[in-house]
Amino acid sequence: MKLQSVVGLLYQYASPKLAGDWDNVGLLVEPSDPHEVTKLFLTNDLTPPVLDEAIEEKANMILSYHPPLFSPIKRLTQVNWKDRVITKCIENRIAVFSPHTSYDALEGGVNDWLISAFDLQNKCPIEPTVMPNKKFSKKRIFTVPADLAPTLVQGLSGIKGTVTTSIAVEPDLVQISFLGNQDNAPDVMEVIGDHMKVIKSIESYDLQKVVWPGYGMGRKGTLKEPMTLNEAVSVVKKHTNLEHVRLAAAPGEPQVSSVAVCAGSGGSVLRNVPASLYVTGEMSHHEVLQAVYNGTSVILCDHSNTERGYLHMLRQELNKLFKEKIDIVISKTDRDPLEIV
């Protein structure tokens, strides 16, 4: 598949608008045309050993969950390891794409994978995604004499991209609701201008943002059946394929009846979320203390260990997205830099 087609499908799968505004997602390295993608290489982090593996696999595109390019750069030299990685990608004509927090917020993304370790009776994002209202940004309500309403409804309904409805509120008054955009203001004034003296009231409301159900940062849910903290630790170990995790137990003999998760670094997302257990990659010392003495136990797996397992689910989704026209390989070299010794 052509690189542009692959990137277009990836943007359809998870809009870059889902990502944090501080993030750097999307196509980060683009080889010159023509560039056909025959093998896509999945990794959590694009490190020098991972890139060597991708080259050995003859991959011509890498999807790196974490963006290898994040801060603005002024030069590419051999001094910095990240510069060497990007230079080597360019030399080997390997495209690089990073989804990062767009996959965190995605319904069915990284956080949904992480919380799927538990059998839940309900689940929702901790911080729901709020996006611009693409269709309408303004709602205007006009209260007008009943005999004027048909004229105004007809005039407002003729404005492109709008919806107009009316309802009688008193025997001689009608409320006209008008959905449109700020750009419609001149057209609206043209319709109502000659009638301003008899219009009883005009109300205006912003419709700038809408919540995307199922999308957002972190996930929380209630277990169908409570479990012990030791059972929860075993569930997390199995799901993340880890021999060891770090545990901070709340005082007493805590039962786990609800859980909140955030892949990667979860301190800011999980702060003060009511749950009997937090699962994340990393939190600061003081964030852990705050959780524990508020009655919430904490399981820390180290940052990328809460993300990497998602790549296996992602591979299945991308195979369907690309209709198996591309060979998709998951890195065997990629691993969290920290380990328990």
Task: Give the helix ranges, DSSP H, for 176-284.
Answer: 185-192, 229-240, 267-270
* pLDDT value of residue 228: 97
H/E run at residue 10: helix 3-13
Question: What contacts 187, CB < 8 A, 6 or more positions away?
Answer: 159
Q: Which of 17-31, 84-98, 168-182, 260-274 has the lowest mean pLDDT?
A: 168-182
Vertex 279 angle, CA 306 and 288, to 5°: 120
DSSP 108-137: TSHHHHHHTTS-EEEEEEEEEEEEE-SS-S
Residues 67, 19 contacting (CB under 8 angstroms): no
How many percent of the chain have pLDDT more than 90?
81
- Report which of 262, 248, 337 is spatially closest to residue 297, judged by C-alpha positions: 248
Q: How many CB atoms lie within 10 A of CB 22?
A: 7
- Strands across the sheet containing 39-43: 26-29, 95-98, 61-64, 39-43, 327-330
Q: Which of 23-37, 96-110, 147-161, 214-228 has the lowest mean pLDDT?
A: 147-161
Residues 176, 141 contacting (CB under 8 angstroms): yes
- How distant, in Å, are the alpha carbons of 65, 226, 229, 264 from that of 109? 12, 25, 26, 13
**Whole-number CA gyration radius for the chain:** 26
* pLDDT value of residue 171: 81
Average pLDDT of the residues in 219-245 = 97
Q: Could you give all domains of the chain from N- to C-terminal order, each with its CATH number?
A: 3-100+309-330 (3.40.1390.30), 106-128+215-304 (3.40.1390.30), 138-207 (3.30.70.100)
- For 186-200, the pLDDT digits (tens) are 999 999 998 999 999
Q: Which of 171-175, 205-209, 258-262 has the lowest mean pLDDT?
A: 205-209
> Is 133's pLDDT higher than 80?
no
Average pLDDT of the residues in 324-334 = 98
Question: What is the chain's mean pLDDT, rounded?
Answer: 94
Amino acid in the structure at residue 61: M
Q: Mutual orientation of helices 48-56 and 81-91 as an angle, nearest 10°? A: 10
Kindly tell me the burial class for residue 202, based on how many C-beta atoms sit within 10 Å of its own C-beta (0-12, 13-18, 19 or more): middle
* pLDDT value of residue 77: 95
Residues 64, 25 contacting (CB under 8 angstroms): no
> Is 134's pLDDT higher than 80?
no
* pLDDT value of residue 206: 80
With cut-offs at 50, 70 and 90, classify the pLDDT of residue 167.
Answer: confident
**The pTM is what?**
0.81
Helix (H, G, I), strand (E, B) or coil at 94: coil
With cut-offs at 50, 70 and 90, classify the pLDDT of residue 283.
Answer: very high
* pLDDT value of residue 130: 86
